[in-house]
Structure 1
Amino acid sequence: MYGLPLLLTGAALSAGAAAADSTSYLKVMADSYIRRGVPEGYHYGEATLYTGLETTLTQTKNESIKSWYKNQIDTGVLGEDGNLIDWNLTYYSLDDYRIGNNLIWWHEQTGEEKYAAAAKVIREQLNRHPRNAGGGFWHRQPNYPNQMWLDGIFMADSFYSKWTSVYDPDNSTAWDDIILQYDLIEEHTRNHTTNLLVHGYDHEKTAVWADPVTGAAPLVWGRAVGWYYMSLLEAIETFPESHAGHARLVNYFKTLSKGLKEADEKDGGWWLILTDPYPGAAGNYIESSAHAMFVYGLLKGIRTGLLDKSEYQSVASSSYKAMIDKFVTENDDGTLNYIETVQVGSLSSNGTYEYYIGVPRVINDDRAGGPFLLAAAEWELKCNKA
Structure 2
Amino acid sequence: MSPEPLHLGRLSRRTVLAGTAGALGALAVGGPAASAAPVDWSRAVVDSTMKRFTPATLGGWGYTRGLYLYGQYLVYRRTGEKSYLDYILGWYDRFVTDSGISNGFTNLDAMRSGQMFPLLYNETGLAKYKTAAGQLRQKFPSYPRTSDGGMFHATSKAGQLWADGVYMSQPFLALYGKTFGDSGYCYEEAAKNIVVYFDRLKEPAKGLLYHAYDEDGSEPWATGTGRHSQYHWARAIGWLGMATIDLLEILPAGHPRRRRLVDIVRFLAAGYTRWQDKASGRWFQIVDRGGDGGNWLETSASAMYTFLLSRAAQRGYIGSEYRPVAAKGYSGVLSQVSVDSGGLANIENISEGTNVGDTAYYYARKRNTNDFHGLGAFLIMNEQLAC
Q: Same fold (TM over 0.5)?
A: yes
Is residue 2:66 matched to residue 1:47? yes
Residue of structure 1 equivalent to 2:243 = 231
- 1:320 is paired with a residue whose SS is helix
Matched letter for residue 147 of structure 1: Q
1:269 to 276, 279, 282: 282
Residue by residue over 1:283-327, the C-alpha shift from the partner in whole angstroms, topping out at 9 and shown as x without a partner, is 100001101111111222222222322x011111111111111x1
Q: Give me the TM-score of the superposition, normalised by structure 1.
A: 0.87
1:207 to 211, 219, 226: 219
- 1:202: Cα distance to partner? 0.6
Matched letter for residue 233 of structure 1: I
- Is the contact made by 1:329 and 1:336 (CA closer than 8 Å) also made in structure 2? yes
2:362 to 352, 356, 359: 356
Which stretches in structure 2 are left out of the alignment for 5+ residues?
Answer: 1-8, 18-32
Write the distance in 2 (CA, Å) between the matches of 1:254 and 1:54.
28
Matched letter for residue 39 of structure 1: L
- 1:209 is paired with a residue whose SS is coil
Which range moves more in the overlay, 102-111 or 34-43? 34-43
- Is the contact made by 2:174 and 2:183 (CA closer than 8 Å) also made in structure 1? no
1:287 to 277, 294, 298: 298
- Is the contact made by 2:73 and 2:84 (CA closer than 8 Å) also made in structure 1? no
Q: How does 1:23-172 map to 2 (within 5 A)?
A: 23-37=39-53, 39-74=58-93, 76-79=94-97, 81-84=98-101, 87-89=102-104, 92-142=106-156, 144-171=157-184
- Is the contact made by 1:203 and 1:215 (CA closer than 8 Å) also made in structure 2? yes
1:314 to 318, 324, 329: 324
Residue of structure 1 equivalent to 2:190 = 178
Matched letter for residue 241 of structure 1: A
- Is the contact made by 1:92 and 1:130 (CA closer than 8 Å) also made in structure 2? no
Residue by residue over 1:347-379, the C-alpha shift from the partner in whole angstroms, topping out at 9 and shown as x without a partner, is 3xxx21111112222110111101101111122
Write the distance in 2 (CA, Å) between the matches of 1:331 and 1:17.
10
Matched letter for residue 274 of structure 2: E
Residue of structure 2 equivalent to 1:8 = none
2:262 to 221, 226, 250: 250
CA separation of 1:62/1:190 partners in 2, compared to 1, >3 Å: closer, same or farther? same
Residue of structure 2 equivalent to 1:6 = none
Write the distance in 1 (CA, Å) between the matches of 2:373 and 2:13.
27
Residue of structure 1 equivalent to 2:30 = none
Write the distance in 1 (CA, Å) between the matches of 2:212 and 2:271.
17
Residue by residue over 1:132-183, the C-alpha shift from the partner in whole angstroms, topping out at 9 and shown as x without a partner, is 22221110121x1100111100001111111122223452x44333222112
- Is the contact made by 1:292 and 1:371 (CA closer than 8 Å) also made in structure 2? yes
Write the distance in 1 (CA, Å) between the matches of 2:307 and 2:66.
17
Write the distance in 2 (CA, Å) between the matches of 1:322 and 1:179.
31
Which range moves more in the overlay, 299-308 or 334-343? 299-308
CA separation of 1:41/1:115 partners in 2, compared to 1, >3 Å: closer, same or farther? farther
2:307 to 277, 296, 304: 296
- Is the contact made by 1:14 and 1:334 (CA closer than 8 Å) also made in structure 2? no
- 1:148 is paired with a residue whose SS is strand
Write the distance in 2 (CA, Å) between the matches of 1:223 and 1:358.
15
- 1:15 is paired with a residue whose SS is coil
- 1:247 is paired with a residue whose SS is helix
- Is the contact made by 1:17 and 1:23 (CA closer than 8 Å) also made in structure 2? no
Write the distance in 1 (CA, Å) between the matches of 2:11 and 2:284.
30
Write the distance in 1 (CA, Å) between the matches of 2:295 and 2:14.
32
- 1:254: Cα distance to partner? 1.5
Q: Give me the TM-score of the superposition, normalised by structure 2.
A: 0.87
Write the distance in 2 (CA, Å) between the matches of 1:306 and 1:112.
36
Greater relative contact order, per chain length (Cα 8 Å cut-off, separation 6+)? 2
- Is the contact made by 1:41 and 1:77 (CA closer than 8 Å) also made in structure 2? no
CA separation of 1:332/1:197 partners in 2, compared to 1, >3 Å: closer, same or farther? same
Which range moves more in the overlay, 30-39 or 109-118? 30-39
Which stretches in structure 1 are left out of the alignment for 5+ residues?
Answer: 1-11, 382-386
- Is the contact made by 1:272 and 1:287 (CA closer than 8 Å) also made in structure 2? yes
Is residue 2:328 matched to residue 1:328? no
Write the distance in 2 (CA, Å) between the matches of 1:234 and 1:196.
19
Which range moves more in the overlay, 294-303 or 45-54? 294-303
